[in-house]
Amino acid sequence: MSIFSVQLLTGLAYGMLYFMIAAGLTIILGVMNIVNLAHGTLFLLGSYMAFTFMNQQFSFWIALLLSVAVTAVIGIIIEKLFIRQIYGKELEQVLLTFGLAFVIADTAKWIWGTEPQTMAVPALLDSSISIGPMVFPFYRLFVVLIGCLLALLLWYFESKTRIGAIIRAGVDDRAMVSALGINVGAVFTGVFAFGAGLAALSGVLGGPLIGMYTGMESDILVTSLIVVVIGGLGSWKGSFIGAILIGLIETFGKIWFPSLSMLIVFLLMVVVLIIRPQGLFGREVA
């Protein structure tokens, strides 16, 4: 039973990590209708920038804040210089963001090299708790807590604030929002920056959990896209449930069916698409 509990908590920790990056991706997709294939590289940037800040004697917490802020600014630059020129052009979006992903990833290799790196767990969280005869790292519980707090904040932001109402309306009818005199361009810039910041947040928190290596941006992008497909376009709630499912399936699958864990993940996606093409919480398209 203790082994099951440990693996359950591990799956939840990975699930919350996937949720943090997938939430930003699904909000960008849902609100802006932007296919951002460079989203995984923002995860990579967040992780490596925090690593650099920590090497400059900044604490983990300051490095986290700086990495999120810098990546959000990079997101603003990308949206204003590139994305804004191709709204409504899906093919151009795919080609542009695919190219940006290569540029950013190769720049990261040039700056930080190709050797895998490790990020130390902050001293405050560098301990374990006992679960029967097993021990479980406290840092993973912290990641679960942050993921749950983020879900709560997104719920409040979406349901209780004016900006959240504007974003909900933008998902349903962007033309109407624009006709009401709302600066849709500023909203889109803010949404893209927010999504980029979430990618960086997950990258920093994921550093001590999954390590850091060039190429992880592709792995995390594929996983986050699967989460978005399962959860439903534009739904952070769907991303929350989908990410937990993927985290648990990966964790238990690697124990029970180590060679089939990713196959099971893709099979889940196929089943969801067959039964409910719009995803678990996605809007049905008439």
Radius of gyration of the chain measured on its C-alpha atoms: 19
What confidence score (pLDDT) does residue 168 get? 66
**Quick one: average pLDDT of 47-60?**
92
- With vertex at residue 23, the alpha carbon angle to CA 259 and CA 243, rounded to the nearest 5 degrees, is 30
What is the residue-averaged pLDDT of the chain? Answer: 86
pLDDT digits (tens, 9 = 90+) for 125-134: 888 887 777 7
pLDDT digits (tens, 9 = 90+) for 207-219: 998 888 888 888 8
pLDDT digits (tens, 9 = 90+) for 82-100: 888 887 788 888 899 999 9
What string of DSSP letters covers 177-211?
HHHTT--HHHHHHHHHHHHHHHHHHHHHHHHHHH-
Question: How many Cβ atoms are within 10 Å of 197's Cβ, its own excluded?
Answer: 22
Q: Using the predicted structure, report yes or no on whether residue 173 has a pLDDT greater than 70.
A: no
**Band of pLDDT at residue 286, cut at 50, 70 and 90:** very low
Give the chain's largest Cα–Cα span: 62
Q: What is the pTM of this model?
A: 0.89
What confidence score (pLDDT) does residue 61 get? 94
Residue 4 near residue 248 (C-beta atoms within 8 A): no
